[in-house]
Amino acid sequence: MKKLLIPVLFFATVIVFEFCSSSKKAKKSPPPITYSNNVQFTIAGNCSPCHVGANAKSGHLDSYDGAKSHIDEIVKRIQLAPTDKGFMPFKHPKLPDSTIQVFVRWKDAGTPE
């Protein structure tokens, strides 16, 4: 009987710890999207020289305030099909969905700096 008791207790202990919630890793949520960490670099890489710098033609996006004030228009235009009027980036391929999602998530988060 004692020979059977030790393996049963060991097995029961393993089962208890296996299903214990503190032993499981919590799922990590993606880091928050901010202008300085994500959007600024995305704009610099995809919206210049037309909307960034001294030679910007319209919709100056080279500052937090500029990007924040145009976020609705940015999201609308980058989600258009390349054949649609107003599509951005003008004369360039459509941005990847992951890049578009940076702007969408930033807007949804309330455009944090």
> pLDDT tens-digit profile of 55-112?
887 788 989 999 999 999 999 999 999 999 999 999 999 999 999 999 999 999 999 9
For residue 82, whether the previous peptide bond is cis, meaning omega lies within 30 degrees of 0, is: no
DSSP string, 3-51: HHHHHHHHHHHHHHHHT-GGGSPPPPPPPPP-IIIIIHHHHHHHSTTTS
Q: In this predicted structure, what is the pLDDT of residue 23?
A: 47
> pLDDT tens-digit profile of 38-47?
999 999 999 9
Are 103 and 89 in contact by the 8 Å Cβ rule? The answer is no
Say which residue the tokens 């670099």 belong to. 41
Are 24 and 30 in contact by the 8 Å Cβ rule? The answer is no
Helix pair 97-108, 71-78: axis angle to 10 deg: 150
Q: In this predicted structure, what is the pLDDT of residue 111?
A: 97
Q: In this predicted structure, what is the pLDDT of residue 22?
A: 55
3-class DSSP assignment, residue 92: coil
Query: From residue 91, how far is each of 39, 65, 72, 108 by CA, in Å?
Result: 21, 26, 21, 28
Q: In this predicted structure, what is the pLDDT of residue 66?
A: 95
Q: In this predicted structure, what is the pLDDT of residue 65?
A: 96
